[in-house]
Structure 1
Amino acid sequence: MELNQSSTLLGRVREVIRYKHYSIRTERCYVEWVRRFVAFHGRRHPREMGADEVRAFLGHLAADLQVAASTHQQALSALLFLYRDVLGVDLPWLTNLDRPKKPKRTPVVLSRGEVERLLAAMDGTHALMARLLYGTGMRLMECVRLRVKDVDFERSELTVRHGKGGKDRLTVLPKSLMASLRAHLLRVRNLWEQDAAAGRPGVEMPEALARKYPAAPKSWGWFWVFPARELSTDPHRASSPYA
């Protein structure tokens, strides 16, 4: 397959993923697996391939690279998405592919004392994030994606946006963390004011909200609770569906 054809295929993968509102992490993951699958078979177009080529690629991952079952499953899911959702191929072999079985392991859970010692050894912003994770039940990326408007001190609540399954939910904001979180947000507001004074374009917005509310990306309410130390590029703009 020629380079421009490959680019068109990957662009189409991105386009369908965004149409279905999958996360940017899923987009990057699926695009990379499609890229590796095509490269493994000498840059042939997936329409020219089928069950044998998919099994060969998955066999390479398992036998030669010895990837974990979860990685193997991830690659298979990406290829199923490619054929079913992007190329519109709905053949019997798609449902007959063997899925790797994950080994059952006993989960490792820290004791209360171990958690206390772990949190006591941390400081600064990372300590606050760790305590929020422990006290609210949020996942790591849910914490990273918190916006200022999602924090409700009056009701002692946090709103988790686009959690697992793309659903929003409420969780309890521990009272023991309120003072630390308020102090943190004061420091963050200084950073937001510096960005505003510098005329920076603002934060990344979900879906089409930036077009619907042009001022929202620069507003305090939409600013990140835990902003990055350095400026970054909107990942959706950085990877155009047609790149």
Structure 2
Amino acid sequence: MMSSSPFLEAIRQDIRLRGYSIRTEKSYLYWIKRYILFNHKRHPSELGALEVKCFLSWLTTNGHVAVNTQKVALNALVFLYHKYLHIELGDLGFTLASKQRRLPTVLSKKEVSKVLSHLKGTAKLIIEILYGSGLRVNECLRLRIQDINLDNFSLLIRDGKGNKDRQTLLSQSSAKQLTHYIEKAIVLQQADNLNGIGPSLPFALGKKYPNAYRQTAWMFVFPSQNICQHPLTGVTCRHHRHDSTVRKKLQRAVQLANISKRVTCHTFRHSFATHLLEKGRDIRTVQELLGHNDLNTTQIYTHVLGQHYAGTSSPMDDL
């Protein structure tokens, strides 16, 4: 079954019909394959709740995976049984490993400036947007021209984490630079259109609107330098830049800035939220800008600030 993988290919098609993202598709297929190999290539229909529980427990005790990774594996297997095989697993009697709370890494404003001083061009603008708008790196890279409102300095984030849309703010300095990038993207799109090529489009949109790839609204602000084939439709198109190019340039900038903290693209989203709260912004406003469902997720930044101590001073200061 695993050599030609007709079973996994059938699951892939089912995932695509349901409109799941490419990342979710790859993740689910990976964990379903791991599960099958763990059970010596037995067909999942011959297995059940006991085998699922054993696999998830093994991931923690022997695989030493993180709690979130264990949750992704569980979601993949729930999809496999409930939605694809239509087999109810029932109560697994399984408790996910407890997640140890870790405070996010946050840069000071001075540190943000130091990192930015060692960046230039597109990578610098992308990091500025992550910090200035609180975006995840792929949310920034997926921005299309229609998502940017230069009049009221705002960004529309489509299909973010949890398949949610949200609106967030755009700094005036980034808006000025984006004008230039939008103009360059339009010129590139027009050149692509002459060869019958355009930006990659959301699933099935190209079929519904055959000429959508010619509309400037759908062009990526940060297009890739190369054309490719759409992974779902096979249509030749131009995708957005890959996040690896940004990450590599960021790591180099962090080294040059002599910052000892572990800094990733996501660090600038954390810094965005923390610095807004430092300025006295309402936590629910920050929650909305970040796109968090649960206020408790946003409240982690109050712990970074020490605000959860409600002004309590150290007894050492009373001596």
Q: TM-score, normalised by structure 2?
A: 0.68
Alpha-carbon separation, structure 2, partners of 1:196 and 1:202 = 6
CA gap of 1:53–1:143, structure 2 versus 1, over 3 A, is: same
Q: Within 5 Å, which residues of 2 pair with 1:97-136?
A: 97-136=94-133
Identity of aligned residues (%): 38
Alpha-carbon separation, structure 2, partners of 1:149 and 1:187 = 15
CA gap of 1:222–1:2, structure 2 versus 1, over 3 A, is: closer
Q: Please tell me the root mean square deviation across aligned C-alpha atoms, in Å.
A: 2.0
2:188: which partner in 1?
A: 191
> Deviation of residue 101 (structure 1)?
1.7
1:165-222 Cα distance to aligned partner (Å, 9 max, x none):
222222222111122111122222332233123x143222223221221100232221
Greater mean deviation of Cα atoms: 140-149 or 203-212: 203-212
1:75-101 Cα distance to aligned partner (Å, 9 max, x none):
12211121111111113244x222122
Q: Within 5 Å, which residues of 2 pair with 1:1-12?
A: 1=1, 3=3, 6-7=5-6, 9-12=7-10
Unaligned runs of 5+ in 1: 239-243
**39, 42, 50: which is aligned to 1:41?**
39
**192, 202, 221: which is aligned to 2:198?**
202
**198, 219, 223: which is aligned to 1:223?**
219
1:40-80 Cα distance to aligned partner (Å, 9 max, x none):
22221101011232233223322333222221221122111
Relative contact order (alpha carbons < 8 A, sep ≥ 6): 1 or 2 greater?
Answer: 1
Any conservation in 2 of the 1:37–1:57 contact (CA below 8 Å)? yes
Runs of 4+ in 1 over 4 A off after TM superposition: none
Q: Within 5 Å, which residues of 2 pair with 1:72-221?
A: 72-94=70-92, 96-197=93-194, 199-221=195-217
Alpha-carbon separation, structure 1, partners of 2:56 and 2:167 = 40
1:149-171 Cα distance to aligned partner (Å, 9 max, x none):
11121232221111222222222
Q: TM-score, normalised by structure 1?
A: 0.87
Q: Helix, strand or coil for the counterpart of 1:89?
A: coil
> Deviation of residue 3 (structure 1)?
4.5
Paired AA for residue 85 in structure 1:
K
Any conservation in 2 of the 1:12–1:86 contact (CA below 8 Å)? no
Unaligned runs of 5+ in 2: 235-319
Greater mean deviation of Cα atoms: 188-197 or 67-76: 188-197
Alpha-carbon separation, structure 2, partners of 1:2 and 1:14 = 14
- The number of residue pairs the alignment matches comes to 234
